[in-house]
């Protein structure tokens, strides 16, 4: 007999191909205080101090991650000791449960004043670090059945981890089937010995392209509690900030290609993931190195001198999208088949796919009718010139509205060739834009930025 989850998993992978994995994510508070009760889960009973026993032994996840705030740590002699001892004590606790799966523990920065010390920083850092950890942990090429347990979590940590998880799953859903199920047990009441576990969310996650571009002022790290000069020096020493400033507009153009349905721009602006990954690691290192322990009136204070800015989150999401679309064609010159593949794989769901295919089909018919007249092959020519040879009147001026209305295959920017198969690329010749001759790549970036700005201005 299949239990409900097994059935879910089979339904989950049906019709989409590819392997499916199960991921369990939980947010935990102070586990040292939990008491043994009977957890009832799907008609089975598990006597345990935690829902983890029931979830692991029933779901049998391939990956299990527990998020805890560092505020649970008691050894405040150094940051290293704080993390090390806390990991040891939660590992001991998990070992004492009867749990059949490997568990990864991730510590995120918490906030609050406790008897053992104070933790001072930006509360949202936990969101950004959960995003960073989950980016590393989540498989990028699998359909996922994700289980999220809120039972034992602190309100704000659960809220932030859920949001980080959800944000990444919505990106994964651009390519994969993602099912999300969330759980909570009955509230713990002293003296009550049986707690039922409930499903509190059960949805197919809908794909969401990212809709926030990297800002003009490089908000990756923010100065929370550092002398201005020291922060300035730190920023100057970080190679990644220079690099990110340099590639920012290319990244925004690439992201926009997914939002606006521009398959050739997607392929041409596909980013270099290795350098972005390094940049993100460098930012996290800088953040971690600037956590200090100070003594205030004999009491220990963990002070996070930096905090993460919103561009840090956007950057992780851009990298994640790149990883999730790594297998799609990219490069400067694309065959018609490659363009169709990108369109089919990336723009499902709405009607954009039909519009784009209409455009590609129209160009393809043009190329084929021209090919016949030139012995079945021709070298790169402007799409504009081909259209003109058919008697169409076209302006030489690149126009924003036209660019979007033709899936980025604007006639002045696009070149075509054929060797029997049709190919497309963006021209490297300067183009007329805003009345002046401009570099075509810069023109494309400018147009997409305009589109993003319009969109974001609306969403603000």
Q: Site residues for a second copy, window 381-440 (CB under 8 A)?
A: 401, 404-405, 407
Geometric angle at alpha carbon 42, from 37 and 45, rounded to 5°: 30
Burial 321-333 (b: 16+ CB within 10 A, else e): bbbbbeebbbeee
Measured in whole angstroms, the distance separating CA 9 from the mean position of its chain's CA atoms is 23
**DSSP conformation letters of 74-135:** ---S-HHHHHHHHHHHHHHHHHHS---S--EEEEE---EEETTEEEES-TTHHHHHHHHHHH
Least separation in angstroms between CB 137 and a second copy: 22
Asked if 242 touches a second copy (CB under 8 A), the answer is no
- Name residues whose C-beta falls within 8 Å of residue 268's C-beta, 6 or more positions apart in sequence: 330, 331, 332, 425, 426, 441, 444
For CA atoms 400, 406, 407, 411, give the dihedral sign. negative
Asked if 211 touches a second copy (CB under 8 A), the answer is yes
* Choice between 127 and 231, CB closer to a second copy: 127
Separation CA 87–CA 279 (nearest Å): 27
Give the pair of three-digit tokens for residue 81: 């000791």
Beta bridge mates, 23: 63, 146
Least separation in angstroms between CB 18 and a second copy: 13
Least separation in angstroms between CB 229 and a second copy: 25
Asked if 10 touches a second copy (CB under 8 A), the answer is no
* Choice between 148 and 426, CB closer to a second copy: 148
Give the pair of three-digit tokens for residue 93: 């606790």
Given 52, 97, 160, 244, the residue binding a second copy (CB under 8 A): 160
Separation CA 214–CA 218 (nearest Å): 7
Least separation in angstroms between CB 186 and a second copy: 4
Asked if 163 touches a second copy (CB under 8 A), the answer is yes
Residues 325-384 that bind a second copy (CB under 8 A): 348-352, 354-355, 357-358
Pick the piece of the chain touching a second copy (CB under 8 A) from 42-50, 151-159, 238-246, 390-398.
151-159
* Choice between 412 and 418, CB closer to a second copy: 412
Report helix, strand or coil for 410. coil
* Choice between 423 and 446, CB closer to a second copy: 446
Given 61, 153, 263, 329, the residue binding a second copy (CB under 8 A): 153
Pick the piece of the chain touching a second copy (CB under 8 A) from 13-21, 77-85, 241-249, 266-274.
13-21
Least separation in angstroms between CB 306 and a second copy: 16
Cβ–Cβ < 8 Å for 320, 271: no
Residues 245-274 that bind a second copy (CB under 8 A): 259-262
Measured in whole angstroms, the distance separating CA 377 from the mean position of its chain's CA atoms is 42
Asked if 173 touches a second copy (CB under 8 A), the answer is yes
Asked if 16 touches a second copy (CB under 8 A), the answer is yes
Least separation in angstroms between CB 198 and a second copy: 4
Asked if 204 touches a second copy (CB under 8 A), the answer is yes
Give the pair of three-digit tokens for residue 125: 């850092």
* Choice between 265 and 286, CB closer to a second copy: 265
Separation CA 388–CA 245 (nearest Å): 40
**DSSP conformation letters of 172-186:** HTTTS-EEEEEEEEP
Least separation in angstroms between CB 135 and a second copy: 19
Given 1, 2, 189, 274, the residue binding a second copy (CB under 8 A): 189
Asked if 205 touches a second copy (CB under 8 A), the answer is yes
């Amino acid at each position: 007999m299949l239990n409900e989850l097994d059935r879910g998993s089979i339904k989950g992978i049906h019709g989409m191909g590819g392997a499916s994995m199960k991921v369990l994510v939980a947010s935990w508070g102070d586990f040292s205080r939990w008491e043994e009760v009977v957890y009832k889960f799907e008609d089975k009973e598990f006597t345990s101090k935690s829902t983890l026993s029931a979830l692991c032994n029933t779901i049998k996840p391939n990956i299990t991650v527990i998020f805890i705030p560092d505020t649970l740590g008691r050894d405040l002699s150094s940051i290293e000791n704080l993390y090390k001892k806390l990991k040891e004590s939660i590992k001991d606790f998990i070992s004492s449960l009867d749990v059949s799966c490997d568990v990864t523990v991730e510590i995120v920065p918490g906030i609050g004043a406790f008897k053992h010390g104070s933790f001072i920083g930006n509360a949202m850092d936990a969101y950004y670090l959960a995003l960073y950890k989950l980016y590393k942990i989540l498989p990028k090429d699998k359909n996922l059945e994700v289980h999220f347990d809120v039972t034992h979590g602190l309100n704000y940590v659960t809220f932030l981890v859920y949001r980080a998880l959800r944000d990444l799953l919505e990106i994964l859903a651009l390519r994969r089937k993602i099912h999300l199920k969330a759980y909570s047990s009955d509230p713990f009441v002293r003296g009550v010995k049986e707690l039922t576990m409930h499903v509190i969310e059960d949805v197919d996650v809908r794909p969401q392209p990212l809709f926030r571009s990297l800002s003009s002022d490089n908000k990756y790290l923010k100065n929370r509690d550092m002398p201005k000069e020291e922060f300035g020096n730190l920023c100057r020493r970080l190679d990644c900030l220079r690099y990110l400033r340099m590639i920012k507009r290319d990244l925004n153009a690439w992201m926009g290609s997914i939002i606006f349905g521009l398959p050739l721009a997607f392929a041409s602006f596909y980013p270099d993931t290795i350098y972005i990954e390094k940049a993100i690691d460098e930012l996290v290192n800088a953040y971690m190195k600037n956590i200090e322990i100070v003594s205030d009136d004999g009491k220990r204070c963990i002070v996070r001198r930096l905090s993460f800015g919103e561009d840090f989150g956007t950057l992780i999401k851009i990298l994640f999208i790149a990883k999730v679309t790594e297998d799609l064609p990219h490069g400067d010159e694309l065959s018609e088949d490659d363009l169709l593949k990108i369109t089919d794989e990336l723009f499902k769901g709405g009607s954009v796919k039909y519009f784009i295919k209409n455009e590609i089909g129209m160009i393809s018919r043009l190329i084929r009718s021209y090919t016949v007249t030139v012995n079945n092959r021709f070298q790169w020519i402007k799409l504009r010139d081909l259209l003109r040879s058919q008697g169409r009147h076209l302006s030489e001026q690149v126009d924003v509205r036209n660019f979007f209305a033709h899936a980025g295959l604007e006639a002045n920017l696009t070149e075509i060739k054929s060797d029997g198969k049709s190919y497309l690329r963006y021209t490297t010749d300067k183009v007329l834009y805003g009345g002046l001759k401009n570099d075509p790549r810069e023109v494309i970036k400018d147009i997409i930025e305009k589109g993003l700005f319009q969109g974001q201005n609306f969403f603000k």
